[in-house]
Amino acid sequence: MKIYSLLADKISKTFNSQKIFKNVSFNAFVGNSIAITGSNGSGKSTLLKILLKYIHPSKGDVKYFCDNKEIESQIIYQNISFVAPYFNLYEEFTALENIELAIKLKSKYISNDLINDELNRFSLFNHSKKEVGHYSSGMKQRLKYCIANILKSDFIFIDEPTSNLDDEGKKIVFDFLKEIQSTSCLIYATNEKDELQFANEIVDLSLLNLN
Amino acid sequence: MSYSNIIFLKDVKSEFRTRVSFNTQLLFTITTLSIILFAVGNESISIPTTISFYWIVSIFAAMSGLSRVFVKEEERGTFLFLFQLASSQSVFIGKLLFNAIFTILVNFFILILFSLFIDTFSANLFFILVMILGSIGIASVSTIVAAIISKVNSSTTLYTVLSFPILIPLLMTLIQASQLSIEGAFFSEMRGHFSFMIGYNISLILISLYLITYLWSE
């Protein structure tokens, strides 16, 4: 079994000469989970996007490893999943079509039974043939979790895990967060105290010295 | 199935469901051709004027719709979903394929309308070849410029401003080659134009494939 890990090495981010955070460093690997916390505007979402390699850091570097060998940036998408309330799935496609697209692009072979089980788990089975555009924001968020759980990527990044979710949705997501730690490296950004229980390590951006 | 094909089929399915680009380009083509016909009336138009009209309609139809494939991923907030699923190059090739086939189809539509309504316009095999190579060139420019401007707010204005200088050499060759083909030139007379268009398209696609990896993240 391959061992995947991530190294965040002295990451700093500056927007318009204003320092957002400075020298953030940590190691993450499959089996552990890291919560990024901090006050509003402390750069939690920005840090997550830097870890995803969607935004370049002003200083420092993010490196992904497989069996201690660095994974090239261009192919890192094969190992990551991201769940956040601020991106959309294809609204003109049904839930099943979105799932199939993700499975095909990630070259995974997943049976229809497993897909149906996951849709059931996230209470979406009865809506699986409905266009995502007709979903509520909570259902869209659950579908993103459903896709992440089907893909079972080595690194799972989540921003605001329970955003838009009702109590039932929160319970499903909490179970998912507990479960996914054994197979993936989980990194999530949150301000909710009850969500910190799933982390082995907490990175608090508010405590960083910006000088 | 290659990843680019999956992206291509996704865009085809998406366009089939929303029909935004198709309807925009169709409407643009019909509107501009109607204006030309109203202006010309019963008078006969010379070949150079007909060719100019043809490429004006074609270029502006392309400009009105082709940027959509990249820009809409940002506008509709789906880019981060795509970002975690595919490589920049697969997405670029998929979208280029979609734009190229789409432009060729729209150009065939313009060609049919011109053949029906403008007497001096008679397309032949060489003209169709010029049109196909031109469509690929226009689609290549449109796709990479759309990728560049997709992260900017006033993207529509920038799109035309950035595309035009890159398109000038192609447009000049397209107009000359189209005129020669309609006047019944031999292949030997047009060889230089075909070589230029093939070279232009290949160079642009290769540069774009290199550039897209830098444009992929902010």
Give the pLDDT of residue A137.
94
* B44-78 tens-digit pLDDT: 888 889 999 999 999 888 887 777 788 889 888 99
Nearest CA in chain A to B89: A74
- Domain count of the fold of chain B: 1
For residues A92 and A17, the model is more confident at A92
How many degrees, rounded to 5, is the angle at CA B78 between CA B74 and CA B80? 90
Separation in Å, CA of A101 to nearest CA in chain B:
8
pLDDT value at residue B9: 96
Predicted pLDDT of residue A211 = 60
Average pLDDT for B110-121: 88
Q: Where are the alpha helices (DSSP H) in chain B?
A: 3-18, 20-40, 47-65, 68-75, 79-83, 88-117, 125-149, 155-182, 187-215
Q: Which DSSP helix (H) or strand (E) runs through A80?
A: strand A80-83
Q: Report residue A188 as tokens.
A: 């999530």
Average pLDDT over residues A159-187: 91
pLDDT band (50, 70, 90) for residue B26: confident
Give φ, ψ of A102 to 5 degrees: -65, -45
Chain B residues lying within 8 Å of A46, measured CB to CB: none
Contact: A102, B85; criterion CB under 8 Å = yes
- pLDDT for B153 equals 63
| Percent residues over pLDDT 90 in chain A | 71
Instruction: Please indicate whether, in this complex, the C-beta atoms of A56 and B217 are within 8 angstroms of each other.
Output: yes
What is the domain range of residue B39? 3-216
The answer for A 41-60 residues in CB contact with B (under 8 A) is 49, 52-56
Q: Would you state the pLDDT for residue A122?
A: 93
- Tell me the whole-structure pTM to 2 decimals: 0.92
Give me the domains of chain A, ranges plus CATH numbers.
4-208 (3.40.50.300)
- Per-residue confidence (pLDDT) for residue B8, from 0 to 100: 95
Which of B13, B14, B84 lies nearest to residue A80, judging by beta carbons?
Answer: B84
Flag whether pLDDT at B154 surpasses 80.
Answer: no
